[in-house]
């Protein structure tokens, strides 16, 4: 694409400049979002009850280390590897407590331990990642051929719940099979992907967030709106997980149906990208309030760019143009390059019905940075 590379070079310089001081300032923390003073919080804060889901076990805790590994493979500056390992090694304590871990061990340990091992051969990281892979495989329900998402909750029976996000987490299982030559991990991942392909992706390419199965029989019970607007709607970050997740399953297995599914989900996304390039929380939400999720935007862009690498040349430009439109909208309108805020990407939202919106999220920065590297075609795939 004309001038796209030059634009990406300029953005990458901004990223290097910002992450250099943000990383140094936050070496000892594991951030999720920024506080009222626009400084990163710390999910590893010992004052938190980190045995619960919002402490050290918080599902996004791998992305801070992931940002460091993205910058490390770009600059080869050891300070990024050192900072990444601070959070990676702290996350090992989650194994001892166990109860706060669920399917998101993929998000926690792929950008940390697996990235470390892939880039440096660190044997400690290999052990950690295989431990996490075994925990993820242990959540597999053979009757329904799906990986259970979350743990028990007082307000819901989640034993049969699976979610679209897990299409990213199963990359941990693909890696474990590739690393150990044990096909069990890949077989579980593919059975889950097959179930997601059948039950999550609708004929028009939109995706369910949560599908509930009978945990005893494996029969589908119903879908849930989850973090989107309503049941049957189209949560945009979930659309990103679908596009990117099925592309990754194709890359790890070569199964054509996964690529076809990714393309169907991608075309639904592209047909619904607003003219502004700024992505709503749900593609089917009401026009007002005009709630955005810049994080979902970055995930979709990453998926589209990876998809472009998997299709014949005539198709590639279509996906790249859509991705770059999203990323340029973020960079021009929703990025903070100043020293007034630790995060880059602004106006992210966790769920449509949350009480607060338009915040920062560390994994929005991760996927934004990863997408810029994809445009530049630099670095290895960390998934």
The model's pLDDT over 276-328, given as tens digits with 9 standing for 90+, comes to 999 999 999 999 999 999 999 999 999 999 999 999 998 999 999 999 999 99
Q: Is the peptide bond before 289 cis (omega within 30 degrees of 0)?
A: yes
Question: C-alpha dihedral over 74, 34, 227, 334, to 10 degrees?
Answer: -60
The model's pLDDT over 331-350, given as tens digits with 9 standing for 90+, comes to 999 999 999 999 999 999 99
Q: Has 214 been annotated as catalytic?
A: no
- Residue 31 CA: distances (Å) to CA of 295, 364, 365: 15, 12, 11
Tell me which of 104, 282, 293, 342 is the catalytic residue.
104
pLDDT at res. 46: 60
Q: DSSP for 245-276?
A: HHHHHHHHH--HHHHHHHHHHHHHHHHH--TT
Q: What architecture is domain 4-142+164-207+235-376? A: Alpha/alpha barrel (1.50)
- Domain range list for the chain: 4-142+164-207+235-376
Tell me which of 53, 74, 165, 342 is the catalytic residue.
165
pTM of the model: 0.97
- Asked which of 34-48, 143-157, 172-186, 254-268 is least confident by mean pLDDT, the reply is 34-48
Which 8-state DSSP code applies to residue 223? Answer: E
Please report where in the chains the tokens 């926690």 appear, as a residue.
108
Q: Has 155 been annotated as catalytic?
A: no
pLDDT score of 45 more than 90 = no
329 confidence band (pLDDT: 50, 70, 90): very high
Q: At what angle do helices 362-376 and 294-308 cross, to 10 degrees?
A: 30
Question: What is the rounded distance in angstroms from the CA atom of residue 54 to the CA atom of residue 331?
Answer: 29
Question: What is the rounded distance in angstroms from the CA atom of residue 37 to the CA atom of residue 40?
Answer: 9
**Averaged over 228-240, what is the pLDDT?**
97
38 confidence band (pLDDT: 50, 70, 90): very high
């Amino acid at each position: 694409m004309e001038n796209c590379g030059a634009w990406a070079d300029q953005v990458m310089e901004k990223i290097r400049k910002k992450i250099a001081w943000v990383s140094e300032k936050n070496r000892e923390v594991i951030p999720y979002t920024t506080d009222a003073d626009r400084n990163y919080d710390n999910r590893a804060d010992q004052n938190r009850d980190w045995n619960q889901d919002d402490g050290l076990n918080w599902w996004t805790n791998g992305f801070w280390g992931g940002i460091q590994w993205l910058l490390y493979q770009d600059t080869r500056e050891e300070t990024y590897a050192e900072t990444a390992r601070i959070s990676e090694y702290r996350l090992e304590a989650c194994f001892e407590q166990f109860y706060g871990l669920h399917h998101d061990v993929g998000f926690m340990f792929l950008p940390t331990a697996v990235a470390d091992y892939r880039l440096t051969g660190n044997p400690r990281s290999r052990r950690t990642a295989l431990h996490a892979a075994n925990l993820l495989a242990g959540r597999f329900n053979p009757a329904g051929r799906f990986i259970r998402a979350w743990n028990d909750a007082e307000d819901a029976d989640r034993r049969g719940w699976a979610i679209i996000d897990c299409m990213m987490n199963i990359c941990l299982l693909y890696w474990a099979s590739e690393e150990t030559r044990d096909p069990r991990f890949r077989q579980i991942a593919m059975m889950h992907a097959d179930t997601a392909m059948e039950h999550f992706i609708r004929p028009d390419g939109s995706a369910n967030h949560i599908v509930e199965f009978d945990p005893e029989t494996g029969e589908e019970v119903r879908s849930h709106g989850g973090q989107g607007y309503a049941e049957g709607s189209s949560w945009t970050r979930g659309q990103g997980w679908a596009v990117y997740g099925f592309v990754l399953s194709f890359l790890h297995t070569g199964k054509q149906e996964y690529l076809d599914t990714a393309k169907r989900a991608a075309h639904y996304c592209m047909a619904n990208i607003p003219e502004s390039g700024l992505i709503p929380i749900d593609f089917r939400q009401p026009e007002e309030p005009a709630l955005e999720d810049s994080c979902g935007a970055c995930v979709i862009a990453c998926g589209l760019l990876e998809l472009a690498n998997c299709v014949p040349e005539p198709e590639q430009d279509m996906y790249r143009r859509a991705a770059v439109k999203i990323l340029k909208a973020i960079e021009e309108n929703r990025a903070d390059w100043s020293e007034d805020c630790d995060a880059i990407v602004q106006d992210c939202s966790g769920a449509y019905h949350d009480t607060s919106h338009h915040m920062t999220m560390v994994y929005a920065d991760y996927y934004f940075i990863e997408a810029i590297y994809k445009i530049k075609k630099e670095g290895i795939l960390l998934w």
